[in-house]
Amino acid sequence: MLRMVTAALAALALATAAQAAPQDRYAQNGTVKIHYAVDGKGPLVILLHGFPDYWGTWKPLMAELNKAGYRTAALDLRGYNLSDKPAGVEAYAMPNLIGDVAAVVAAEGQKDAVVVGHDWGAAIAWQVAMNRPDLVRRLVILSVPHPAGFAREMATNAEQQKNSQYARNFQQPGFEKNLTAEGLAGWQKDPAERGPYLEALKRSDFAAMLNYYRANYPRGAGAQTAAPAAMATALKVRAPTLVIHGMKDTALNAAGHSGTWDHVEADTTLAMFPQAGHFVQWEAREQVNRTVVDWLKARP
């Protein structure tokens, strides 16, 4: 009987540990404090969300990666939720965002990591891989084309130019006055997650969110399109790269991913999900989780 009770308690302890919430941690990049949530043990995976989001967008993928033997660290990007919200457009220029990722890797006592990003998180992930290749062991991109592919589409693809009008609006001074937490959280249809999303977005700075677009999004139209200097790099990605895209994405055309392999020196995998839109990590949750975990297992 004692043996049975001991076994039952051990099983309960394991189950409780498995259900424990990720732990809050902080990393310092100069004067800016970056919040991130960590869980699991093993090789480090850095997860970067986009607009309008917070670290919790990665909960389903974190759970699968933890089970697969990885330690996950999901950031609140600067300006969002529990991270610092420095004032001014320049605070959100790409070199600062790259530095935030480097700070978290260092805070975890690691030299490199698997880097996963969606939306602005993906744009940052591309730049980290190109400008700090020492930090990136494997690269996983959701939705956002390589900067060269996106620049090509912005210059030549009328549909992408039309789809980017929202970003042009975001670049206008004061546009953040049009935003509300309720409106920004509208894409999240999971009733269990909507409450946490609203709370996270209420803690966020709407001007900071739009400063990502003001500091880094291409300006102009057609042949006159120009990317900020910090985004215009010809460096190639050295790490094996997985790109995932929801074909119903109305912000970023799938055509932007064409030629991605020309900008990556390692093996490059593209996975397209026809029934998913921009928030592919939720709209094709099981497929994305399985694809990421299986891809990483094949590249230890």
Q: Is the pLDDT of residue 8 over 50?
A: no
| CA separation, residue 10 to residues 2, 13, 39 (Å) | 12, 5, 20
Residue 106 lies in a domain: yes
* pLDDT at residue 14, as a whole number: 43
* Residue 92 tokens, joined: 């959100």
Q: Is the pLDDT of residue 16 over 60?
A: no
Residue 231 lies in a domain: yes
Strand boundaries in the chain, DSSP class E? 23-29, 32-39, 44-48, 71-75, 113-118, 136-142, 241-246, 268-273
Residue 89 lies in a domain: yes
Q: Residues 225-266: pLDDT tens digits?
A: 655 555 555 689 999 999 999 999 999 999 999 999 999 999
CA–CA dist 130, 79 (Å, integer): 24
Which CATH number does the domain housing residue 66 bear? 3.40.50.1820
Could you list the residue range(s) of the whole structural domain that residue 121 is in? 33-297
CA–CA dist 34, 77 (Å, integer): 7
As for how many domains the chain has, the answer is 1
- Judged by average pLDDT, the poorest of 15-19, 192-196, 296-300 is 15-19
Q: Are 104 and 227 in contact (CB under 8 A)?
A: no
Q: Residues 59-108: pLDDT tens digits?
A: 999 999 999 999 999 999 999 999 999 999 999 999 999 999 999 999 99
Residue 222 lies in a domain: yes
Select from 90, 146, 157, 135 the least CA-distant residue to 239: 135
Q: pTM above 0.75?
A: yes
Select from 176, 164, 165 the least CA-distant residue to 209: 176
Residue 1 lies in a domain: no
Residue 18 lies in a domain: no
Residue 27 lies in a domain: no
Residue 105 lies in a domain: yes
